[in-house]
Homo-oligomer: A and B are copies of this chain.
Amino acid sequence: MTRNAAALRNDQAMLIVMKSQASADQVEHVLRAIRDHGLTPHPLPGATRTAIGITGNTGAIDPASFEALPGVMEAIRVTRPYKLASREMHPDDTVVSLPHTRFGPGTFTIVAGPCSVENEEMIFRTAEFLLSRGVRLMRAGAFKPRTSPYSFQGLEFEGLEILARVRHKTGIAVVTEVLDAAHVTAVEAAVDMLQVGARNMQNFSLLKRLARSSLPVLLKRGMSATLDEWLMAAEYLLADGNRQVVLCERGVRTFADHTRNTLDLSIIPPVRRYSHLPIIADPSHGTGMRDYVPAMALAALAAGADGIMLEVHPEPEKALSDGAQSLDFAGFDRVLESLRKIAEPLGRAIH
C-alpha cells in the first residue's frame, strides 16, 4: 500500500484489496466497475498486491458487490454508513423532550407501566401509582405483537381511547407501540410518544411514516440488529425530519438460554461514542424474568443508560401478557429505592 493523498478525501470511503495474483486486466475491470457506480477509484499499487481506495457516495453500495469481481480479495467499508445519527455530524447529545419529562444528559428517565392495556381501571391505578412515585411517562400497549395468533392481541383502538383518557385525567405522558403505518394517525392523537418494537425495527414503511410525525419515537433494537443497522433505522427517522429519537436496548437473540433474551448493556458505551441519541434499556424484556429485573435495572444505570423501561402491573400474576417479567407495585418501589441509592453518586437525577 502506498500513499495517496486523494484516496480518502471523502467522509465515506471503501477500500478494495486485490489478490496478490490479480492480473492488470482484473484491476482494470474493478476500476471500471467503480466508475460505473458513479464513484472515483484511487489505485494504490503495492509491492505484491494492489489496493484501490474508493471515494464518492459509497453509503448505498454493498462492499460485497465488489468482492464478487474476479481478482478481488476483500472489499471493506471504511466509514460508518449513518450520517445524521452520527456523533461526528452532531457532537452534542440530543435531548428528547416530552410533557413533564425528557431524555438526555444528567437525567435517568423511568418509563414504566403494564405490557398491555387490559382495562381502564388497571391503567388508572398504574398511572396514579407511577405519578405518586415521580414517574411521568407510562408505557402500555394497545396493539400487541404476539408470536401466536391465539394469544391476546391487545384492546387496539379501545385501548388507545383508554390511554387518551388516563393521559388527560392524570396528566401522565404515555408511550405506546405502533404496529402499522395505517394506525399512526390514530395513535398520535392518543399519546405523547410512539414506540417501534423490536420486530418492526426494520419495518421501513412504518419508519417512513413515523419520520413525518411530530411526536418523538422510541426505537427498540431489533432482536438481531447490529449497532450499524440500529442507527440506520434511526437514520430513516432523522432523514425525513423527525429528530426526536430515543434508542432502547431490549435484549438480543443469542445461544444463551438463561434469560429470555441477552440484554446487551455493552452497546451503551458504543452508542455514546458513535451517536448523539439518548439510549435507554428495558430489563423486563431483556431478561423476561421479574427476579432478574432489579439487578439489570441497576446495571443499566451504572452502564450509562439515559433511562430504563420497566414493566409494572398491579397484579402481575393475572396479566394477560408478559406477567412473568412484570414487577408489582412493591417490587417497583424496591427497584426505585435501589436506583436512588446510586443515581446521586453517579450525578444523575431520576425522572
Show the binding face of A for B, using Cβ within 8 Å: 1-11, 13, 15, 17, 19-21, 33, 36, 42-51, 53-55, 57, 59-60, 62, 64-69, 73-74, 76, 78-81, 88, 91, 145-153, 179-182, 199-200, 202-206, 223-224, 226-229, 232, 235-236, 239-240, 251-260, 262-270, 273, 286-292, 295-296, 298-304, 316-319, 321-325, 338, 341-342, 345-346
Contact = CB atoms under 8 A, between A and B. Distances in A.
Contacts of A262: 252, 254, 262, 264, 266
A290 B17 contact: no
B264 A256 contact: yes
Given A43-B3, A67-B324, A301-B302, A223 B224 contact: yes
Contact of A79 (B17, B60, B259, B289): B17
Nearest to A239: B149
Contact of A42 (B2, B50, B69, B345): B2
A55 to B, nearest CB: 6
Nearest to A63: B324
Given A1-B53, A148-B232, A74 B65 contact: no
B295 A3 contact: no
Contact of A51 (B8, B80, B151, B226): B8
A42 B1 CA distance: 8
A268 B295 contact: yes
Given A303-B298, A316-B68, A266 B252 contact: no
Contact of A60 (B4, B152, B224, B319): B152
Contacts of A78: 1, 15, 17, 51, 74, 76
A200 B204 CA distance: 10
Q: How many copies does the complex hold?
A: 4
Of A36, A68, A199, A270, most B-chain CB atoms within 10 Å: A68
Nearest to A29: B317
Q: Which of A80, A150, A152 has the most CB of B within 10 A?
A: A150
Given A229-B147, A295-B303, A324 B3 contact: no
B153 A1 contact: yes
Contact of A266 (B8, B88, B227, B296): B296
A47 B286 CA distance: 36
Nearest to A205: B180
B296 A145 contact: no
Contact of A148 (B43, B59, B257, B263): B59
Given A53-B3, A291-B68, A263 B260 contact: no
Given A68-B291, A79-B73, A290-B68, A235 B45 contact: no
B79 A46 contact: no
A122 to B, nearest CB: 15
Contact of A260 (B64, B290, B303): B64
Contact of A258 (B1, B226, B303): B226
